[in-house]
Every structure is written in structure tokens, then in C-alpha cells.
Structure 1
Amino acid sequence: MIDIKGITKSFGSLQVLKGIDLHIDKGEVVSIVGPSGAGKTTLLQIMGTLDKPDSGAISVDGVDVMRLSSNKLSDFRNQHIGFVFQFHQLLPEFTALENIMIPAYIGGKGTAEAKKRALELLDFMGLADRANHKPNELSGGEKQRVAVARALVNNPAVVFADEPSGSLDSKNKAELHQLFFDLRDKFGQTFVIVTHDEHLASITDRTIHIVDGQIKL
């Protein structure tokens, strides 16, 4: 599913990633942990094609993403990759349903198809009755579940999540963590999650430890 080899990344004189080799299988729920500044988010952004490494190779869902042009890379990201961030990043002027539909529109889907998929996901999330509510009318847990639904609307092969439960209380954290496994079981996605949450890391299929820009075995 994901193969990265020899990934390095520096910002000025600071080398953040120092030769990362990693393979993640289809359908795995993997956590990436480590101290602040270890390179976790940088690695996640490179795997998610939001940033480019200085050197190394990356294959996602069988595609050598380093060889794609900028436009083709954007299309690939829209169709094959989903993202969940710590602070949901929902657009405040749109309803929950509309927020979920946006990536589908970007991917060229028609309104009927996008709406059907978005409503299916809202129902799975237990949010069918919140479809027409705007973000300021939703709780923190509801907003994050809408963000997860948005990440899934194009049925991506992999979902990257950066501290997805970092802003939630313990009850909503537990519900969100369980949701990742429920979604994997229903839709077959791979999940790669950067987290400081020890409980989430403990229940994932595999935990990858990064220290000083390297994977600690």
C-alpha cells in the first residue's frame, strides 16, 4: 500500500528526516509516535504528498508519486488520499453535508452521486440528523466525525490523520478511535495516524516510533 525508501528532509540546516524506510500494508491501522520535533508530521505530509522529500522514493497504492506532475499529483491526492487534522478544518459557511461533498465535487462527481455518498457516511457516523447543521452548531466530536466523513467521501485508499483526537475530551476520543477501526472494517481503508495519545497508539495494529528523524526499532 505505502512504500517509502531513503526519505530525507531538511529545513535550512536542520535535517528533520534522516533516511526513513517504511512499508504499510493495505487495511492496516498504524500509529506514528515520538517526541515533539521528531519528524512525525513531516513524514505524514510527505507520505500524503503534501510535501516533497529532499531524497528517497515514495509509492502510494502502487503509484510512484514522485514521478507525477503537479496537476496529476493533485488529482491522485483527491482520489486516493484522505486527510483528517486536529482542528477539523471545516468551512464555517457550509453545512456538514456540504463540507463532506466538497472533495467529491473537486473530483468531478455530480451532485446526486456526491450527496448520496455523503449521506451514507453521515448515517454511518450517526450524524444523519445533523446533515444540515453548520460547524458552529456541532459539538467538537461531531465536527471531527464530519471531517472524517469528508476524508472518506471519495473512497480513498489511505487516510492520514494528524493528532485527530488531540482537541477532544476523553469520551469523544474513545468514540473517534473506535470509528477508525469500524471504518477500516467496513470500507477497507488504510489509516496512518500521528498521535501523542498512548491509548490510541496501543490499540493500533502497529506503532512506529520516530526519534530524531529516524525510525526506532
Structure 2
Amino acid sequence: MIHLQNIHKSFGNLEVLKGIDLDIAEHEIVSIVGPSGAGKTTLLQIIGTLYKPDEGCVEIQGTDVLRLSRREISKFRNKHLGFIFQFHQLLPEFTALENVMIPGMIAKRKNKELKEEALKLLEFMGLSDRADHKPSELSGGEAQRVAVARALINHPDVILADEPSGSLDSHNKEELHKLFFQLREAMGQTFVIVTHDENLAKTTDRTIHIVDGKVV
């Protein structure tokens, strides 16, 4: 599913990743842990095609993404990858339903079909009655579930989550962690989760430890 080989990445004189080798299987839920500044988020962004490494190979579903043009990478990202961020990153002027639909609109999907699917995802998340609410009218847990629905709207192969429960209280953290496993069971996604949450890391299929830019 995901194959990384000899990944190096520097920002100026700071070498952040120092030769990462990593394979993640289809349908696996993997957590990436390590101290602040270890390179976890940079690695996630490289998997997500948001950064290019200075050196190395990145293959997702058999595609060498580093060989794609900028336009091809954008299309690949929109179709195959879903993103969940710590602070939701919902657009405040749009409703929950509209926020979920945005990646599908970028993919130029038919509006009727897209809206129906977005409503089904919100129903799956237990948010049918919040579809017309804007982010300011949602609780933290509700906003994060809307963000998860948005990540799923284009049926991505991989969900990439950067500290997804970092801004949530203990109850909503637990609910979000359960949701990931429910989604894997129902929809078959692969999850790569950067987290400082030890409880979440313990529940995943595998935990990858990164220290000083290397897998240990």
C-alpha cells in the first residue's frame, strides 16, 4: 500500500528526516509517535504528497508519486488521500454539509450524488441533525467528526491524521479513536496517524517510533 525508501528531508541547514524506510500494509491502522521535532508531521506530509523529499522513493498503491507532475499529484491526492487535522480546518462560512462536500466539488463530482453521499456520511457520524450548522455552532467533537466525513467523501485509500484528537476532551478522544476502527471495518481505509496520545497509539495495529529523523 505505502512504500517509503531512504527518505531524506531538510529545511535549510536542519535535516529533519535522515533515511526513513517504511512499509504500511493495506487496511492497517498505524500510529507514528516520537518527541516534538522528531520529524513525524514532515513524514506524514511527504506521504500525503504535500512535501517532496530531498531524496528517496514514495510509492502509494503502486504509484511512484514523485514522478507525477504537479497537476497529476493534485488529482492523485484528491482521489486517493484523505486528511484529518488537529484543529479541524473547517471553513467557517460553510455548513457542515458543505464542508464535507468540498473535496468532491474539487473533483468535479455531480452535485446531487455528492450531496446524497455527504448526508450519508454525516448520518454515519451521528450528525444528521447538524448538517446545516456552521463550524461555530458545533462542539469540538462534532467538528472533528465533520472533518472525518470530509476526509472520506472521495473514497480515499488512505486517511492521514495529524494529532486528530489533540484538541478534544477525554470522552471525545475515545469516541474518535473508536470511530477509526469502525471506519476501517465499514469502508476498508488504511490509517496513518501522527499522535502524542499514548492510549491511541496502544490501540493501533502497529506503532512506529521516530527519534531524531529516524525510525527506531
* TM exceeding 0.5: yes
Deviations 1:49-102 (A, max 9, x none): 000100000001221100000001000000000000000000001000000001
Specify the alignment match of 1:49 in structure 2.
49
Letter in 1 for 2:20: I
Letter in 1 for 2:91: L
Whole-angstrom CA distance in 2 between matches of 1:29 and 1:123? 23
Whole-angstrom CA distance in 2 between matches of 1:34 and 1:105? 36
Alignment of 1:60-75 (within 5 A): 60-75=60-75
Specify the alignment match of 2:158 in structure 1.
158
Specify the alignment match of 1:170 in structure 2.
170
Helix, strand or coil at the partner of 2:27: coil
Letter in 2 for 1:171: H
Letter in 2 for 1:173: K
**Structure 2 gap segments, 5+ residues each:** none
Q: Quote the offset at 1:108 in angstroms.
A: 1.2
Helix, strand or coil at the partner of 1:82: strand
Q: Quote the offset at 1:116 in angstroms.
A: 1.3
Q: Quote the offset at 1:187 in angstroms.
A: 0.3
Letter in 2 for 1:176: L
Alignment of 1:111-150 (within 5 A): 111-150=111-150
Whole-angstrom CA distance in 2 between matches of 1:196 and 1:120? 31
Q: Quote the offset at 1:120 in angstroms.
A: 1.1
* TM-score calculated relative to the size of structure 1: 0.99
Specify the alignment match of 2:108 in structure 1.
108
Deviations 1:17-75 (A, max 9, x none): 00000000010000000000000000000000000100000001221100000001000
Asked if residue 210 in structure 1 is aligned to residue 210 in structure 2, the reply is yes
**Structure 1 gap segments, 5+ residues each:** none
Helix, strand or coil at the partner of 1:105: helix
Letter in 2 for 1:212: D
Whole-angstrom CA distance in 1 between matches of 2:120 and 2:44? 28
Letter in 1 for 2:54: D
Q: Quote the offset at 1:164 in angstroms.
A: 0.3
Letter in 1 for 2:120: E
Asked if residue 195 in structure 1 is aligned to residue 195 in structure 2, the reply is yes
Specify the alignment match of 1:182 in structure 2.
182
Letter in 2 for 1:87: F
Q: Which runs of 4+ in 1 moved over 6 A?
A: none
Letter in 1 for 2:143: K
Identity %: 69
Q: Quote the offset at 1:113 in angstroms.
A: 1.3
Whole-angstrom CA distance in 1 between matches of 2:116 and 2:183? 17
Whole-angstrom CA distance in 2 between matches of 1:49 and 1:60? 10
* TM-score calculated relative to the size of structure 2: 0.99
Letter in 2 for 1:2: I
Letter in 2 for 1:126: G
What's the Cα RMSD here?
A: 0.5
Deviations 1:142-175 (A, max 9, x none): 0000000000000000000000000000000000
Count of residues in Structure 1 that have an aligned counterpart in Structure 2: 216
Whole-angstrom CA distance in 1 between matches of 2:124 and 2:141? 15
Deviations 1:153-204 (A, max 9, x none): 0000000000000000000000000000000100000000000000000000
